[in-house]
Amino acid sequence: MNIKEFFTTKRILFILMFAVLAFIGDRINYSQLLGMDKQYFTFFQFFGPLPAAFLGPFVGILAIAIAQIANFILLGKAFEIVNIIRLAPMLFAAYYFGTTSKNKISAIIPVISMAAFMLHPVGQQAWIFSLMWLVPLFAKFSNRLFLKSLGTTFTAHAIGSALWIWTIPSTPEFWILLIPIALAERIAFALGITVSYVGINTILNRFGTFAKAVELNIDRRYVLSKNLLLGIKL
Q: Is 65 exposed, middle or buried (0-12, 13-18, 19+ CB in 10 A)?
A: middle
pLDDT at 230: 47
Q: CB of 133 within 8 A of CB of 120?
A: no
- Separation between Cα atoms, residue 154 and residue 111, nearest integer Å: 11
pLDDT at 148: 94
Give SS3 for 141: coil
DSSP-derived secondary structure letter, 128: G
Domains in the chain: boundaries: 3-231
Residues 6+ apart with CB under 8 A from 226: none
pTM given for the model: 0.84
pLDDT at 142: 87
pLDDT at 80: 65
DSSP-derived secondary structure letter, 99: S
End-to-end CA separation in angstroms for the chain: 32
- Separation between Cα atoms, residue 93 and residue 152, nearest integer Å: 5
**Helices first, then strands: H and E counts in the chain:** 13, 2
Given a cut of 70, the residues of the chain with pLDDT beneath it are 1-7, 30-41, 75-84, 210, 213, 226-234
Residue 156: φ, ψ to 5°: -60, -40
pLDDT at 180: 94
- Separation between Cα atoms, residue 109 and residue 179, nearest integer Å: 20
Give SS3 for 120: coil
pLDDT at 122: 97
Rg (the chain; Cα; Å):
18
